[in-house]
């Protein structure tokens, strides 16, 4: 009794544990991938917004550079440095800045010529102008054939990474070219507010990433949002080892980097997430699911004990009753108090016992019936053997008469006795077997020979048989009843000679047979009632209805007799037999 109860408890508990394992596996595998996919899509959206904003601001810088290059006051000042009027030029540049600069991005515009002269009231001071002209960033830009370049953040005119984000600036350098000859005439220096240039990052990050970094074309860090959590990122970008998304390990820690290039100014943007932070929520969720699973398994085990006892007790009692059944006696009905599905089990068992008793009684009845059938079969066989005595005696008698007719020279009597003897042999044997068409016609001729003795020349029989049909098998005595029907009805009612025509031909894999006479015909109502009314017995004991039934049983309902009146008088009876392959 304890074994089945333990199995029920263990099985149910293992089932609950398996479900928990599946849930944990699903959470552990699917959730991180799904979260990573969502995070990457979100970064792509944020990167598009940030990149579009920066591109818009860079396009604004290009536009301001084009306006400065087209301004006659600026060009005249650059071409004639001796007529220097810095205050007038500064006012002109300030007007351009206020008119065309967007988002309060540009703090100041400064113009220089190719000889190092700075046209500005403040930076025209030799100390400042020399520092501006000799700046390493400005020197690198002058050595490159680039229309616009933005430097790393620092202080102007001295490039430096000191200071806070409030006083750091980005310096944008642009060439001033002659509109007609495209010769270099000078340079436009645009001082950009550092915090304004990158304000879209703060608006679109939503605390998704731990750190966001921007690098220029020289892989110098331009802007950092968030804490410094990964060193050497510029070297990783420079090596080309980073694609759109990459996982790396640095100093024993794992990071996920989302990369995006900004090709308009050849900058690089990277958003970094620590794997520990990335997977911390997933780990907590998995741990919570495991705890819930363990608690559920314990609760299931405790709750399952009384349930298993309630189910197993009546089952074990039923098994005990069945084990006490005798071998040589039918099992008794069992009555054990139970409920739910166990009641169905006991009812099924009792129904089985009753069914067995019923089958035993039926088996005894069948055995008795079979015994009586065997006795009747023996009796029938004796009767059949006894019945063969009369036909055998009749055949011997006909043979004796045939011999006497032959000795006396009466050929007509001899022919009729022989025909009658052949017909009797066919009718007293199995009439259900099949014979060749040629054999069936011979039997028909024997029948007509006997009828000549009775009717003389009052009828005429015509055969139209395809020679190819002679070796086709058809049911025995299938033609004689039909010919006999035409012959008798015609002779009895027609004053002249009755003509019966038998036509047999092969058509479309079928043997087509028609018996046609010139008798009085048949009423249409009787034709319709043929199967119920045409029960006339023939010489062989087989009537038209019997022939119709034999055809139906052997070949199906599409091969039964078809009776119709001829236009010139008489009746045609048709049927077809499918050729055997």
pLDDT digits (tens, 9 = 90+) for 401-419: 565 566 676 667 666 676 6
How far apart are alpha carbons 170 and 193 in whole angstroms? 6
What single string gives the DSSP state of each residue in 339-384?
A: -THHHHHHHHHHHHHHHHHHHHHHHHHHHHHHHHHHHHHHHHHHHH
- The confidence band for 145, taking pLDDT boundaries of 50, 70 and 90, is confident
Q: Which of 280, 299, 318 is the last residue before a domain boundary?
A: 299
| 192 three-state secondary structure | strand
Q: What residue has token string 């009775």?
A: 454
Return the pLDDT at 539.
46
pLDDT at 322 over 80: no
pLDDT of residue 501: 93
Banded model confidence at residue 465, pLDDT cuts 50, 70, 90: very high
Q: Could you tell me which of 487, 479, 503 has the C-alpha nearest to residue 423?
A: 479
CATH code for position 65: 3.30.450.20
Domain count, the chain: 2
Query: Does 365 map to a domain?
Result: no
Question: How far is the C-alpha of 558 from the C-alpha of 473, rounded, in Å?
Answer: 19
Confidence of residue 377 (pLDDT cuts 50, 70, 90): low
pLDDT band at 510 (very low <50, low <70, confident <90, very high): very high
Q: Would the pLDDT of 533 be above 50?
A: no
∠ CA 372-377-380 to the nearest 5 degrees? Answer: 125
At 575 the three-state DSSP class reads strand
Residue 540 has pLDDT above 50, yes or no: no
Predicted pLDDT at 197: 84
pLDDT at position 537 is 43
- What angle, rounded to 10 degrees, do the helices at 437-455 and 480-493 form? 20
Q: In this structure, is residue 337 part of a structural domain? A: no
**Please, where are the H alpha helices in 429-479?**
437-455
If phi > 0 it is left, if psi is from -120 to 50 it is alpha, else beta; for residue 116 that is left
Q: Which residue has the tokens 């939503």?
A: 206
Tokens of 456: 């003389």
In a domain, residue 361? The reply is: no
353 part of a folded domain? no
The reply to whether 251 falls in a domain is: yes
**467 has pLDDT over 90:** yes
Say which residue, 322 or 370, is predicted with more confidence: 370
* Structural contact between residues 511 and 579, judged by C-beta atoms closer than 8 angstroms: yes
Q: Taking residues 422-439, report their average pLDDT.
A: 72
Task: Tell me the pLDDT tens digit for each residue of 49-78.
Answer: 877 888 888 888 888 888 888 888 888 878
CA distance 452 to 497: 13
Q: 270-306 burial, b if ≥16 CB within 10 A, otherwise e?
A: bbbbbeeebbeebeeebeebbeebeeebeebeeebee
pLDDT interval class at 107 (50, 70, 90):
confident
| Percent of residues, the chain, with pLDDT higher than 70 | 69
Mean pLDDT over 522-540 rounds to 60
386 compared with 302, residue with greater pLDDT: 302
Range of the domain at 487: 459-578
Last residue of a domain, one of 299, 331, 349: 299
* pLDDT 10s digits, 182-231: 888 889 998 988 888 888 777 766 566 778 888 887 788 888 887 777 77
Domain presence at residue 371: no
| 62 in a structural domain | yes
What CATH code is carried by the domain that includes residue 565? 3.30.565.10
Q: Tell me, what's the pLDDT at 30?
A: 66
Q: Identify the weakest region by mean pLDDT among 39-48, 375-384, 496-505, 571-580.
A: 375-384
At 4 the pLDDT is: 61
Q: Where does a domain end: 299, 333, 362?
A: 299
Residue 577 has phi, psi (to 5 degrees) of -130, 125
Asked whether residue 342 is domain-assigned, the answer is: no
433: pLDDT strictly greater than 60 = yes
Is the pLDDT higher at 463 or at 374? 463
Residue 115: pLDDT band (50, 70, 90) is: confident
Q: Which residue has the higher pLDDT, 198 or 510?
A: 510
- Indicate the SS3 state at residue 116: coil
- Positive or negative, the CA dihedral 192, 194, 198, 202 is negative
Averaged pLDDT, 574-579: 92
**Cβ neighbours for 25, distance < 8 A, ≥ 6 positions apart:** none
């Amino acid at each position: 009794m304890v074994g089945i109860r333990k199995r029920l408890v263990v099985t149910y508990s293992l089932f609950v544990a398996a479900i928990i394992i599946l849930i944990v596996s699903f959470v552990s595998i699917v959730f991180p991938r799904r979260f990573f996919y969502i995070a990457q899509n979100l970064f792509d959206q944020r990167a598009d917004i940030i990149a579009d904003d920066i591109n818009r601001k860079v396009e604004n810088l290009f536009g301001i550079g084009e306006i400065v290059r087209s301004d006659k006051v600026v060009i005249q000042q650059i071409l004639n440095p001796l007529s220097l009027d810095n205050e007038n030029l500064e006012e002109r540049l300030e007007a351009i800045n206020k008119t065309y600069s967007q988002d309060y991005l540009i703090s100041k515009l400064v113009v220089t010529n190719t000889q190092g002269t700075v046209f500005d009231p403040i930076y025209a001071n030799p100390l400042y102008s020399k520092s501006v002209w000799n700046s390493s960033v400005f020197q690198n830009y002058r050595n490159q054939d680039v229309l616009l370049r933005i430097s790393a953040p620092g202080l102007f005119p001295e490039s430096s990474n000191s200071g806070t984000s409030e006083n750091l600036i980005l310096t944008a350098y642009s060439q001033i070219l002659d509109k007609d000859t495209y010769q270099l005439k000078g340079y436009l220096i645009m001082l950009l507010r550092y915090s304004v240039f990158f304000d879209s990052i703060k608006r679109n990050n939503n605390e998704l990433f731990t750190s966001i970094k921007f690098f220029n074309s020289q892989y110098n860090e331009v802007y950092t949002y968030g804490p410094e959590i990964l060193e050497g990122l510029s070297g990783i970008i420079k090596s080309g080892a980073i694609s759109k998304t990459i996982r790396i390990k640095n100093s024993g820690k794992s990071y996920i980097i989302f990369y995006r290039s900004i090709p308009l100014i050849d900058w690089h943007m990277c958003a970094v997430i620590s794997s520990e932070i990335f997977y911390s929520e997933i780990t907590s969720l998995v741990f919570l699911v495991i705890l819930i699973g363990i608690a559920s398994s314990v609760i299931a085990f405790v709750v399952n004990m009384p349930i298993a006892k309630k189910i197993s007790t009546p089952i074990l009692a039923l098994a005990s009753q069945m084990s006490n059944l005798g071998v040589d006696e039918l099992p008794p009905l069992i009555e054990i108090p139970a409920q739910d599905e166990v009641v169905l089990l006991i009812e099924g068992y009792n129904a089985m016992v009753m069914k067995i008793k019923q089958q035993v009684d039926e088996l005894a009845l069948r055995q008795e019936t079979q015994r009586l059938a065997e006795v009747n079969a023996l009796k029938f066989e004796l009767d059949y053997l006894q019945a063969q005595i009369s036909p055998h005696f009749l055949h011997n008698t006909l043979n004796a008469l045939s011999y006497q007719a032959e000795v006396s020279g009466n050929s007509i009597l001899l022919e009729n006795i022989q025909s009658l003897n052949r017909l009797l042999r066919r009718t007293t044997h199995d009439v259900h077997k099949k014979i060749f068409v040629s054999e069936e016609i011979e039997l028909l001729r024997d029948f007509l020979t006997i009828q000549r003795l009775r009717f003389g020349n009052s009828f005429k029989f015509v055969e139209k048989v395809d020679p190819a049909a002679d070796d086709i098998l058809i049911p025995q005595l299938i033609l004689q009843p039909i010919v006999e029907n035409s012959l008798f009805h015609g002779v009895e009612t027609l004053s002249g000679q009755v003509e019966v025509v038998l036509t047999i031909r092969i058509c479309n894999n079928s043997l087509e047979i028609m018996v046609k006479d010139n008798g009085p015909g048949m009423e249409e109502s009787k034709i319709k009632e043929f199967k119920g009314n045409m029960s006339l017995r023939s010489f062989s004991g087989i009537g038209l209805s019997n022939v119709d039934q034999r055809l139906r049983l052997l070949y199906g309902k599409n091969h039964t007799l078809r009776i119709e009146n001829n236009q010139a008088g008489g009746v045609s009876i048709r049927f077809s037999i499918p050729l055997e392959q």
